[in-house]
Amino acid sequence: MPKHHRRHHEHHSPLAIMSMAKWLEVFYDLVFVAAILLFTTAAVHEHGGGVLWIVSVFALAWWIWFETTVAANQFHLVDFFHRLLLLTQMVVIVLMAMEARLSVSKESTYVMGEYAVLLLTVATIGWRASRAKDSAESAYGASMARSNLLGAAGFFVACFLPELGRLALGAVVMVVLVSSSMKRLKALEPFSEDHEEHLVERMAAFTLIVCGETFIKVAITVSHANIGSVNIVSIVVDFFLVLAIFSSYFGDFPTAGLYQRRLGWWTALHLIAQIAIASTAAGITKVVVRSLSDNIPDSEILLLTAPFVVLLLAFAGLDLCTRRRPALRLTAVRLFGALAYAIVGVAAWKIPFIHYVEAIPLLGVVAVVEAIAVGRVEATTTVLHADRLEAGLPAG
């Protein structure tokens, strides 16, 4: 084989493409470290509707990540033009995260326009995939291109509407986009083992990023505080809480596979769980700059306990979306953990002699006990093969 032909063949070998795809995904995920940090910082300074809006913008950015990840899982695009598309997404996602807080008190025109650009990049990825020789991949890419192109058009139109109409149109467009995407994914069932494993790993990697962001946010907050005002108890407990979340999630879900009939629920519950993890950073941040002598309203404990309750409820639902059996045992552990968090929060809020500072270590204890219990129960379960689960056979 001539030398220049041999180089061309090696560059496009399946092994080389898969290796480049993995590194490209890691590079792509880096932007979400910055974006989540911006979203969390914005949420710390907002209340009520402002927090809801910031969470909504995060969900929009997360959906772009999910669509792009699924496309990468299916098509393994790694060429230079695809890298430019990802770079465009990265820049616009950071801009949208920066705009999220500003748009709380102003209007959402820029956020809508930026999201239209993001949808155009996803549509372009789909269009490029539609030229594949494989008929199934071509059909998937064409459908992806059409729906996201229409979605981009909808968000562009929304830019010229009054604020209420803009938000209403954006919500309708997202409902259509999400439903059409889930329909496309169901048409691909059953996934190959490699595709399922890759999707599960990518979702786990994003969850890890959100966990890491909690450390980063608290560290940045501490660096801007006076040493004397830092609540050391909160910082230490934060490490235990995040470690417990890590252990509870990664001891179970990455190896539990995916029950593909419940892909839609699996996806939505991961989004809820990741929002809850990011919210814990916002709650802890409000405490680490306080002095132990500060008069902290007891009601603020609910801002810290609520995300953990939501997180464990999401984990409980996720256990029913995996191939681990029997799943109800793990679900029960999660539900008891959520109840324990709720009890600690309400007790610190309502019982006079239990205050915010005393409640924070209790949250750490609940987190550690829940993680240990999950590990013990997980050891008694079995992960069924996809074919075995579809046949309705019990665990061996």
Instruction: List 324's β-bridge partners, or say none.
Output: 383
Q: Which residues pair with 382 in a beta bridge?
A: 325
The domain limits of the chain are 11-187, 193-390
Q: Which helix (H) or strand (E) holds 100?
A: helix 80-105
Cβ pair 210, 278 in contact under 8 A: yes
Query: Mind listing the pLDDT tens digit of every residue in the chain (396 residues)?
Result: 444 443 333 445 655 655 666 777 888 888 888 888 888 878 777 666 788 888 899 999 999 999 998 888 777 777 889 889 999 999 999 999 988 877 776 778 899 999 999 999 999 999 998 886 666 678 888 999 999 999 999 999 999 999 899 999 999 999 999 999 988 887 766 667 778 888 899 999 999 998 888 777 777 776 665 554 445 666 777 778 888 888 889 989 999 989 988 988 999 999 999 999 988 877 777 666 555 455 556 666 777 888 999 999 999 999 999 999 999 999 999 999 999 999 988 888 888 777 666 777 888 888 889 999 999 999 999 998 877 666 554 443
Contacts by 181-186, CB closer than 8 A, 24 or more apart:
181/67, 181/70, 181/144, 181/147, 182/263, 182/264, 182/267, 184/140, 184/143, 184/144, 184/147, 185/70, 185/263, 186/263
Name the phi and psi angles at 9, rounded to 5: -65, -45
Instruction: Report the predicted TM-score, pTM, of the whole model to 2 decimal places.
Output: 0.85
Q: Which residues contact 372 (CB under 8 A, 6 or more apart)?
A: none
